[in-house]
Structure 1
Amino acid sequence: MSGEIFSQEHQIVYYETDQTGKLSIPMIFNLAILASANQSKLLGQGEEQVHANKNGWVVLQYDLHITKRPQNGDVIVIKTQAQEYNPYFAVRNFWLETSTGEELVKIKSIFAMIDMEQRKMIRIPQDIMDAYQATKVKYIDKIPAPQTIDATLPTVKQAYHVRYLDIDSNQHVNNAQYFDWLIDPLGTEFLQSHELVNLNIKYATEVRYGQEVESHFQVFDNQMTTVHQIKVGESINTEASLKWRKIIN
């Protein structure tokens, strides 16, 4: 049986929204991680306890599905559940719902644990997973890989410099920052005429302070799919595919 579902209420405030007045994509993930952090702290497995052993959680992949983004002033319920794990990987689910239980957003995620000094993946300590009461499995329920850039076609690209405030307590670029790099190059005209419905992102290599990244993308399916890469030099750090719907005014 999967672990217990943790939930907390939250009212959307203006600085969590984008130009449309709806909860921004980076903030969707920030609120999800806030809920998991609060659950972990409640169970005695918060960041302070994990970092005391020089370990840290890192996300490997997200699969986001959006039914409807909440707006400024809306009161929502954020839910999260540790679903299952094996010695090296853990699956966690997140939901954003209305106060009456209508599902707005669902996220499936895969996490691993690293030694923060050696920056290498380690076995997840059993006492941590015992606290979450997740199901122990031999093979986790994987997320399909995102669609990848077609190397035979040109990409549109934009460069970004990794700033001090992009770095989180795990000493690498905060996961939510990648969504800025993915979405920003699409431009105002595209973003004001399309609404995101699905995002599949897979992180391969950490991006660190001071590096220069390039965000590449291609557009397919009559502008209903965008495919992305985040690169440092020739190294592909992140790949993502995004599905959109046309906004009908």
Structure 2
Amino acid sequence: MHRLPFTDNYTLRPNEVDVEHLLRLSSLADMFQNSAWRSADVLGFGFHDLTSQGLAWVLSRMQITLDSYPDWGETVQLDTWPKRTDRLFALRDFELYSQSDKSEPVVRASSAWLLIDLKTRRPRRLESLESAMPSLDRDAIEATPVKLSCPDSMPLHNVVQVRRSNLDMNYHTNNAAYIAWIEDCIPMEMYQHRRIHELTVNFVGESFIGDQLTIEYQLDQNHMNGRICNQKKQDVVLFSAGLSTRT
């Protein structure tokens, strides 16, 4: 039996930080995704294990709390572990530690994953895996990530086209791309004085190469709501986000 939590170490590279030399949210999402996949592989529930059965893990929801941001060149330790199930969701948590102080995590996150049938694109029940799936009774964030409710109408920020560089191994838009597009909604003048402290995201639908996506957001002093929709089907929300900031 492999020990939990699973641990990775990352040294922040120039392309993973922003103009203030601090970790980008999209880079953090990449770290989470990479370590989740590596952990699942080690535990026997990874990409190749599931695709051979016509199944795949799909990230549905995530909640992140950032107490501080690692700096360029800093080495960080990322711990991750599967913890329990909640209806159709398999829950996985993350804790990110600074190399200089491992007494408390600087970032905590909880994520909810669906087991998808690759032919029908529908969620499968977890009973077939649950009894054999290792877990750790430990919470980075206790609550299951919530389903977001965005305002009916929000200002249009941008229209983007899904390109080949946005795709993942399943030929649909990578999770980190959605977070990067929402991250770009934050005005530079706000970005230089305030930092995202809490972020909740919902991955609701899929997009593919060539799709035109609309990015909308609504911002006040401390909070922002955003969503990404298919331009041809504006009632089809693909991604939604809610965040709060602090100085």
TM-score range relative to shorter protein: 0.7 to 0.9
SS in 2 for 1:241: strand
SS in 1 for 2:133: helix
Distance 1:124 1:193 in 2: 44
Distance 1:112 1:72 in 2: 33
SS in 1 for 2:132: helix
CA contact (8 A) 2:12 2:73 kept: yes
Distance 1:121 1:145 in 2: 16
Distance 2:76 2:114 in 1: 28
Structure 1-normalised TM-score? 0.87
Aligned-pair CA distance for 1:134: 5.5
Distance 1:172 1:204 in 2: 13
Aligned-pair CA distance for 1:188: 2.4
Residue deviations 1:142-171 (CA, integer Å, cap 9, x gap): 3233352253xx514210000112111122
CA contact (8 A) 1:11 1:73 kept: yes
Partner of 2:242: 241
Partner of 1:197: 197
Distance 1:210 1:122 in 2: 29
Residue deviations 1:22-78 (CA, integer Å, cap 9, x gap): 111011111112112221222222212211222111111110100011011111110
Partner of 1:226: 224
CA contact (8 A) 2:156 2:214 kept: no
Question: In structure 2, do the counterparts of structure 1 residues 86 and 68 end up closer, same or farther at CA, with 3 Å as the change threshold?
Answer: closer
Where does structure 2 lack aligned partners over 5 or more consecutive residues? none
Q: Is 1:11 matched with 2:11?
A: yes
How is 1:179-194 mapped onto 2 (pairs within 5 angstroms)?
A: 179-194=179-194
Distance 1:72 1:125 in 2: 43
Distance 1:67 1:134 in 2: 24
SS in 2 for 1:185: coil
Q: How many residues align?
A: 236
SS in 2 for 1:215: strand
SS in 2 for 1:103: coil
SS in 2 for 1:114: strand
Where does structure 1 lack aligned partners over 5 or more consecutive residues? none
CA contact (8 A) 2:61 2:146 kept: no
How is 1:1-249 mapped onto 2 (pairs within 5 angstroms)?
A: 4-86=4-86, 88-99=88-99, 100-101=101-102, 102-124=104-126, 126-127=128-129, 130-133=132-135, 142-146=144-148, 148-151=150-153, 154-220=154-220, 223-233=221-231, 234=234, 235-246=236-247
Structure 2-normalised TM-score? 0.87
Question: In structure 2, do the counterparts of structure 1 residues 87 and 150 end up closer, same or farther at CA, with 3 Å as the change threshold?
Answer: closer
Q: What is the Cα-based RMSD across aligned positions, in Å?
A: 2.1
Amino acid at match of 2:110: K
Distance 1:86 1:217 in 2: 30
Aligned-pair CA distance for 1:5: 1.4
SS in 2 for 1:178: helix
Amino acid at match of 1:145: K
Distance 1:115 1:65 in 2: 31
Amino acid at match of 2:39: Q
Question: In structure 2, do the counterparts of structure 1 residues 236 and 179 end up closer, same or farther at CA, with 3 Å as the change threshold?
Answer: same
Question: In structure 2, do the counterparts of structure 1 residues 134 and 127 end up closer, same or farther at CA, with 3 Å as the change threshold?
Answer: farther
Distance 2:45 2:242 in 1: 32
